[in-house]
Structure 1
Amino acid sequence: MKTKLQFTLFILFLTNLCAFAQTDYALEFNGVDQRVKYATDATLDNLNGATDYTIEVWVKPLSTDINNNVVLKRWNQFALTLYKDDTKRFYFTHYSNSGADKVFVNTIDNVIQINEWNHLVVICNSVNNSIKLYANGVDVTLANQEALPLDALAIEEDASAANFYLAYGGSATYLNANIDKVRIKNTAENIANLQTTITDADYTSDSNTVMLLNMKEGTGDVTLNEASSATGELACTATDCTDLPTWVALSATLSLEKNSSTTFKVFPNPSTDKIFIVQSNNNETIQSIEMISLLGKSVKKINSFEKNTKIEVNASKLKTGVYFIKTVTDKGTGIQKIMVQ
C-alpha cells in the first residue's frame, strides 16, 4: 500500500514538473504577408448584441512603421489598430451597418512602446456608459471620447460579422510584431483584474469568453481558440507562399539570453529598501549590470570601468516588483531574477 502511494505521488510530481517546465510561445508576423484567420462561428457570435465587452491582446511591435497597422479585427464588427509612427497611439474602431458606418475611439500620444510588450485593452461598460482604452494597465483614452453614446458602441445583434484576423486589416496592410494572449469577453472586466505582465499565467475560458488564444502550440499551422475548441489558421497571402507566421519562445522575445555563460550572486533577495549587492563568482570583473522589467524594458543600467567583483545597486527609484538582473563580466553574461521591495 505504501509503495503504491509513493508511486502515485511520484507520478503527480512528474506531471506538475512537466507543466511547470512547459515553454510559453508567441507568434511573430513579418509585416509583409502573414496573418492568422479564424473563421466566424457560433461562439464568436456570442459577442453579437453585447453592450458590455472586453478585448485584450499583448503585442510587441518590431518596427517603427506602425501607422494604421491592425493588431486584431473582426470584419464588420471591430478592430484594434496601431496609429502614427511619430506619436505612437492606438485606436479602436466600432463598425455598424455591415461595416458601412464607423466610430473611432483614440488614445493619447506615446502609449505604444516599440520592441517591448504592450498590453492593449478595450473595455465597453454599459453601467458607466463608457468605453476606455488601456495600455499596460493605464487608462490612455482621450478625455473627450470616454463617454460616447452607448448605442454607437454596442455590438449589433445582426452584425453581419465575418472572419476574425490577427495582424491583418485588409487593403494589403500587415503588422510586423509579436502577438500573444488574445482574449475577448462579452462582459466589462475590471482592469485591475487583468494580466499585468506578459509572463503572467494564461487565462482560462468561461461562459462569457468568445475568443481565447493563448498560443500554446509552438509548432504547426493552427492556433486553438480555447473558448470554442476551433482553430485559427496561420497563413500567408503571397502567391505560392509557404512562409507562415513564426512560433517563437516567449522567453526569446524578452531580449534575454537563453543560456548564461557566467554565474553571480544577488543578495539580499528579496532586496532590503530596494538596495542589493551583485557579486561575481571566481573573481570575474563586472563590466555592467542591467535591470530589465518583466515586459522586457531596460529600467536601469550601471557600467563599471574599474576591476570590481562586487557592486551595490540602488533601485529606490523603481517600483516594487520582480526584475531580471543581466550582469556582464570579463568572462561572459548571466541572468537572474530579483524581488525589489
Structure 2
Amino acid sequence: MKKQLLTILIVTMFTLVTNAQDDYVLQFDASNSQRLRYLTTEHDVLDTKLNGATDYTIEVWVKPTSTEINNTVVLKRWNQFAITLYQDDKKRFYFTHYSASGNKFVNSQYNVININEWNHLVVICNSNTNSIKLFANGVEVTGDSLGNPTTEGALALETSPIGTNNFYIGASGSGTSYFTGQVDKIRVKNEALNIGDLQSDITDADYIADSNTAILYNFNEGAGLIAVNEADSQNASLQCSSNDCISGETWWVNLSETLSTKKISETGGFSLYPNPTENKSFTIETTNNESIQQIEIYDALGKRVNKTAFKENTLLVHLGVEFLKSGIYIVKTKTNKGISIKKLIVK
C-alpha cells in the first residue's frame, strides 16, 4: 500500500481568500401567500421521468421560521406526491402519495423538525427492498401515526395523475397551506439513492442534473420572479396574493452571509493549535488520516468571513489570519470523511 503523502500547506488567508459564488435560498411568507409554481405540460420532464416511477428520491432543505407549521406544504406535485410539515407541538413531517385508488400518508417520528434551523428532509422509495423511508438530517425517521418507528412498503408513483399536475413549492397549489421560512436545493430523481451519498450540510456544493433528474432547483438566480428547473431549463414563476407580486416581498436571501450559529456545535475530528492564538496564526491537523478539503471561518454572529479549498492528501495546514480582529470564531473543517467544528479564540 502506498504511503499517503503528507502535504503541508502554508496559507496566508489575507492574500488567498476565495470569493465563492453567492449561494441564494428562496424565502416564503405565508401572510403574502407566496409560492412557486411550475406549469407542467403533457410529456414534459416530470411526466416522462416520474409517472409510474417505482424508485425515486425526493429531497429538500427547509428552514421554518415560524412555530406554526401544522399542515404547511413544502413541496407538491399535484395528484402525485407532497412533503408537508405537521403538528406544531410534535414537529414532524409527512409524505403524501396520491393515487386514483386512494391516498397514502407516510409519517415521520416526533421532534425531527428544528425551527429556525436548516433541516434536510428526504424521501427514498426502493422497489428492490420494498420500502419507502423518511429521513431528517441524515437519520431515518419513518414513523407511525403516534410517532413510533415503523416500516412502510414501497409506493410507486401514480402512472397517470388526474387533472393538472403542476409542481408547487411553499404551498399546496389550491390557495391554502402556505409555508413561512426558507427553502433550498430541491431535487427529485427517479432512482433510489443512498442517504449517505446525499448532501449533509446546507453549504455543500449544488447538485447537477443528470438523466435521472426530473426536478432540480438550486435557487441561485438571486433576483427576479422566476426560478429555473435545471433538469429541463424551464422557468417556474414566483407568485403572491392574487397571483401577482408587489414590491416589498422578500424572495432571495444570500445564504453565504446568514449561516445560523445555532447550526454550529463543537465536535472532534481534527486538532487546532495554538488556541487561543496570539500571533494571528494557527495550525489544523486532521486525525485518522483524513484529507482536508475545505476550511471555513465564521464570526460570532454566524457570518462567514473566509473560505478556502485544498487539494487532495492535505493532512496539515498552517493558516495566517492577520486580518481577523480579536474575538471568538468558528472553524469548520470539511474532510473526505465528514465535517468537524471547533471554536477559535484570537487574541
When the two structures are superposed, what TM-score results if normalisation uses the length of structure 1? 0.71
- Mapped partners of 2:134, 2:221: distance in 1: 29
- Could you tell me how far 1:172 is from its partner in structure 2? 2.1
- Mapped partners of 1:158, 1:48: distance in 2: 6
Q: Which residue of 1 aligns with 2:221?
A: 217
Picking from 170, 188, 192, the partner of 2:192 is 188
RMSD: 3.0
Q: 3-state DSSP class of the match of 2:142?
A: coil
The C-alpha deviation readout for 1:177-219, integer Å capped at 9, x for no partner, is: 1000000001001111000000000000111000000111001
Change (3 A) 1:252 1:61: farther
Q: 3-state DSSP class of the match of 1:192?
A: helix
- Mapped partners of 1:236, 1:93: distance in 2: 24
- Mapped partners of 1:117, 1:92: distance in 2: 19
Paired amino acid for 1:29: F
Change (3 A) 1:338 1:56: closer
- Mapped partners of 2:278, 2:178: distance in 1: 45
Q: Which residue of 1 aligns with 2:275?
A: 277
Q: 3-state DSSP class of the match of 2:276?
A: strand
- Could you tell me how far 1:66 is from its partner in structure 2? 0.4
Q: Which residue of 2 aligns with 1:293?
A: none
Paired amino acid for 1:177: G
- Mapped partners of 2:150, 2:330: distance in 1: 43
Q: Which residue of 1 aligns with 2:166?
A: 163
Say if 1:212 and 1:225, in contact at 8 Å, map to a contact too.
yes
Change (3 A) 1:133 1:322: farther
Paired amino acid for 1:225: N
Paired amino acid for 2:181: A
- Could you tell me how far 1:128 is from its partner in structure 2? 0.5
- Mapped partners of 1:40, 1:239: distance in 2: 17
Q: Which residue of 2 aligns with 1:73?
A: 76
Q: Which residue of 2 aligns with 1:260?
A: none
Q: Which residue of 2 aligns with 1:40?
A: 40
Q: 3-state DSSP class of the match of 2:202?
A: coil
Q: 3-state DSSP class of the match of 1:96?
A: coil
1:54 aligns with 2:57: yes
- Mapped partners of 1:194, 1:336: distance in 2: 24
Q: 3-state DSSP class of the match of 2:94?
A: strand
- Mapped partners of 1:71, 1:252: distance in 2: 24
- Mapped partners of 1:202, 1:239: distance in 2: 29
- Mapped partners of 2:140, 2:28: distance in 1: 27
- Mapped partners of 2:243, 2:136: distance in 1: 36
1:119 aligns with 2:124: no
- Mapped partners of 1:276, 1:129: distance in 2: 52
The C-alpha deviation readout for 1:15-61, integer Å capped at 9, x for no partner, is: xx9x9631010011012210000011410112001010000000000
Q: Which moved more, 1:100-109 or 1:184-193?
A: 100-109
- Correspondence list, 1:156-305, <5 A: 156-160=158-162, 162-169=165-172, 170-238=174-242, 241-242=245-246, 243-244=248-249, 246-255=251-260, 271-272=270-271, 277-279=275-277
Say if 1:34 and 1:245, in contact at 8 Å, map to a contact too.
no
- Could you tell me how far 1:327 is from its partner in structure 2? 4.5
- Could you tell me how far 1:333 is from its partner in structure 2? 6.1
Larger RCO, structure (CA 8 Å, separation 6 or more): 2
Say if 1:271 and 1:338, in contact at 8 Å, map to a contact too.
no
- Could you tell me how far 1:173 is from its partner in structure 2? 1.7
Give 5+ residue unaligned stretches, structure 2.
1-15, 262-267, 281-291, 302-324, 334-339, 342-347
Say if 2:106 and 2:152, in contact at 8 Å, map to a contact too.
no
- Mapped partners of 2:296, 2:89: distance in 1: 29
Structure 1 residue runs of 4 or more that deviate by more than 2 Å after TM superposition: 143-148, 237-241, 269-272, 278-282, 320-328, 331-341
The C-alpha deviation readout for 1:218-271, integer Å capped at 9, x for no partner, is: 011101111001011011024764155510101244136xxxxxxxxxxxx984
Say if 1:40 and 1:162, in contact at 8 Å, map to a contact too.
yes
Say if 1:105 and 1:145, in contact at 8 Å, map to a contact too.
no
- Could you tell me how far 1:277 is from its partner in structure 2? 1.2
Paired amino acid for 2:151: E
Picking from 137, 142, 151, the partner of 1:146 is 151
- Mapped partners of 1:336, 1:31: distance in 2: 33
Give 5+ residue unaligned stretches, structure 1.
1-16, 257-268, 283-319
Count residues in correspondence: 268
- Could you tell me how far 1:158 is from its partner in structure 2? 1.1
Paired amino acid for 2:188: I
- Mapped partners of 2:82, 2:23: distance in 1: 26
Paired amino acid for 2:122: V
